[in-house]
Structure 1
Amino acid sequence: MSDTDQGPETISVLLVDDHQMFAQSLARLLGDEPDIEVLGIVSEAADAVANVAKHAPRVVLVDYQMPGRDGVAIAGDIKAAHPDTMVVMLTGSADDRILLAAIEVGCSGFLTKDRAADEVASAVRAAAAGEALVSPALLARLLPRLNRNYHEIGSDLTDREREILGLLARGWANPVIAKHLHLSVNTIRNYVQSILTKLGAHSKLEAVATGVRERIIDYPVDD
């Protein structure tokens, strides 16, 4: 692939973390990746939204334990002001309460700090592509606990789109869904994009969370 082809694929990232050594370490790791550009490190919660507006990153990594405001509140502010920006929560542990709150405000998922060094680049790429950074098993545990309020969102989803949304809720990737439904991966990708558009979602995880919250789909889904 030529440099011209690679250019548009560059993923811009902003780090929101007051632990400078940790943040700088992640920035160096990401900076070594040819398809990722680190735009900067924000150490103050109050500056997060302004810096997202200034730098327009595709992905923001937000530490949960920020002074003044926690990462969920910061992520919620970012998503409210810039819904197309993908936010990944950095946590010290996989606490269900934190992860559920992160899903509720529109995060693409989470990355625990003990795995960050090994997985941060792949997590950024997945978030940029709209993928859910939550394992199917964890998704199954968290989704039934989402707040559920019906607002008639998604009433224009087709039967096929509802079916695919249900399969996304199982944590299935596009190729798995394509094989199951005997359709091409491109067709599934188009269906997923239509689902996101109709639900006003910006990632698969946000679409699934909206689907469960608004009672468009039930969870768990029986095989």
Structure 2
Amino acid sequence: MPSIRVLLVEDHDMVAEALGMALDLASGIEVVGRAVSLEEAAAETGRWQPDVVLLDRRLPDGDGIEAIGRLTTAAHGARVLILTGEASASVATKVAEAGGAGLVTKSSGLKELEAAVREVAAGGVVFAPDLLAEVLDRLTGRTAQPRGELTARERETLTLLGEGASTAEISQQLGVARNTARNHVQRVLEKLGARSKLEAVVIARRDGLLD
């Protein structure tokens, strides 16, 4: 299996070096580059096309959460994992609404960080259980948006998302290429007005599209 390619966005040298060394030592994970600002992160993301962007929330030129959509677009669907010193429900909700794959605190152990990178690379989300419950409550309270009708294949895709399947697993289950599965997922998100897989599942459950 190819290595999980990680771009590290962290402006503190000692923190970045420690994180980079720990991830490079992990089997199947490769840190392909580092950035120290949001502007540099956008350029490096486009250059390296990482699978996961490990993004510090507080950077010299802004809030990392606000850059999630930009980085995801630059890397054609890379998963963004926020690194933060504050793991509150409000922060977690902002990450989910922006399309982030989760967050880990700077106080987390290196094994926990490694596990989080693997989880989001596989298509999962990473939020502490106590935060996830509140995130779901907050997202569920959002006003429903008009949307297009899902096709039969898109409904199958949504069902698999509800079961926690990654894009690779959806590809296998539906018997289609991974790019095709990724396109199905993107159309589901667009029709539901969601910015992440997690939010799509929340909206679908709220509106009775999933049991």
- Shared fold by TM > 0.5? yes
Match of 1:199 in 2: 188
* 2:108 aligned partner, one-letter code: R
Gaps of 5+ in 1: 1-5, 175-185
Question: Within 5 A, what are the aligned runs for 1:28-177?
Answer: 28-146=21-139, 147-153=142-148, 155-156=150-151, 165-166=161-162, 168=164
The answer on whether the counterparts of 1:16 and 1:61 sit within 8 Å (CA) in structure 2 is yes
Size of the alignment, in residue pairs?
A: 195
d(CA) in 2 for partners of 1:35, 1:95: 31
The answer on whether the counterparts of 1:143 and 1:219 sit within 8 Å (CA) in structure 2 is no
1:190 aligns with 2:173: yes
* 1:66 aligned partner, one-letter code: L
Q: Deviations over 1:122-149 (max 9, x none)?
A: 1111111111112444322112212444
Q: Deviations over 1:32-77 (max 9, x none)?
A: 1231111122112211111101111111100011122111012222
Percent of aligned pairs with the same amino acid:
29
Higher relative contact order (Cα pairs below 8 Å, separated by 6+ residues): 1
d(CA) in 1 for partners of 2:127, 2:207: 16
Gaps of 5+ in 2: 175-180
- C-alpha deviation, 1:187, in angstroms: 8.2
Match of 1:14 in 2: 7
For 2:200, which of 181, 187, 210 is the aligned residue? 210
The Cα RMSD (Å) is 3.2
Normalized against structure 1, the TM-score is what?
Answer: 0.73
